[in-house]
Structure 1
Amino acid sequence: MSDLVQIHTDHAPAAIGPYSQAIVTDGWVFCSGQIPLDPDTMELVGGTIDEQTDRALSNLSEVLQAAGSSLQHVVKTTVFLADMNDFAR
């Protein structure tokens, strides 16, 4: 069995439940979901899909960096939208 390494960074929002920001095992990084929370205030950012997407991706990037990886190595993401009209943006 491979070791599981928990990842934590103060540059992304702390987990708000009983889980890690990410887990590294066998060279893979498994990140928990990222929402548009400001890591300093723990408040939701912006009202537009653009502002929210930028914050969520910034949070994800910080978690990946803490794990020794980057957005360039992402294999799969899942996106949830409240309004499908935002999909093209």
Structure 2
Amino acid sequence: MSIIAHTSPDAVSVGPYSHAAEIAGFVYLSGQTPLDKGTGKLVEGGIAVQTDQVLKNLESVLKAAGLSFSDVVKVQVFLTDMKDFPEMNRVYESRFSPPYPARSTLGVAALPLGAKVEIEMIAARSRS
């Protein structure tokens, strides 16, 4: 099987990786940080603003792969401060509807470029 790479013109990469890689009907989205495509820098603001930007970036990658949030089956969230969990969760919840994807949230020491949050996802072509 060969891997299909998906790239969004609306998401920023800060390293040698694909925005998403697809194999066997699953699309693995690389972690996105709250980078603004226009400036290439982190968006200014707290965890709500950063989470919103991360989800916009991920949505653009999903769209590039012909998918949407309703196709997401697994999410992994990385936070530099677990005190930000309730606010991140509020923004996150606004983008999904039941049945929610499986999810893990981890506290980490640091993220690239000083981001407060990074999120990665796995989506499936058919979720019946």
- TM-score, normalized by length of structure 1? 0.91
Q: Which runs of 4+ in 1 moved over 6 A?
A: none
**Structure 1 residues 31-50: Cα deviation after superposition (integer angstroms, max 9, x where no partner):** 10000000121110122100
Partner of 1:4: 3
Question: How far, CA to CA, are the matches of 2:30 and 2:68 in structure 1?
Answer: 15
Question: How far, CA to CA, are the matches of 1:20 and 1:4 in structure 2?
Answer: 11
Alignment root-mean-square deviation, CA: 1.0
1:41 aligned partner, one-letter code: T
2:2 aligned partner, one-letter code: D
Question: How far, CA to CA, are the matches of 2:82 and 2:21 in structure 1?
Answer: 31
**Greater RCO, 1 or 2 (C-alpha within 8 Å, sep 6+):** 2
Partner of 2:26: 28
- Alignment partner of 1:51: what SS? helix
Alignment partner for residue 79 of structure 1, among 41, 52, 77? Answer: 77
Partner of 2:59: 61
**Structure 1 residues 12-44: Cα deviation after superposition (integer angstroms, max 9, x where no partner):** 11x211110101112111010000000121110
Select between 73-82 and 53-62 the one with higher mean Cα deviation: 73-82
Question: How far, CA to CA, are the matches of 1:45 and 1:36 in structure 2?
Answer: 6
- Alignment partner of 1:69: what SS? coil
- TM-score, normalized by length of structure 2? 0.65
Mind listing any 5+ residue stretches in structure 2 that lack a counterpart?
Answer: 88-128
Report the number of matched residues: 87
Q: As a proportion of its length, which structure holds more strand?
A: 2
Question: How far, CA to CA, are the matches of 2:21 and 2:80 in structure 1?
Answer: 28
Partner of 1:48: 46
Partner of 1:18: 16
Partner of 2:37: 39
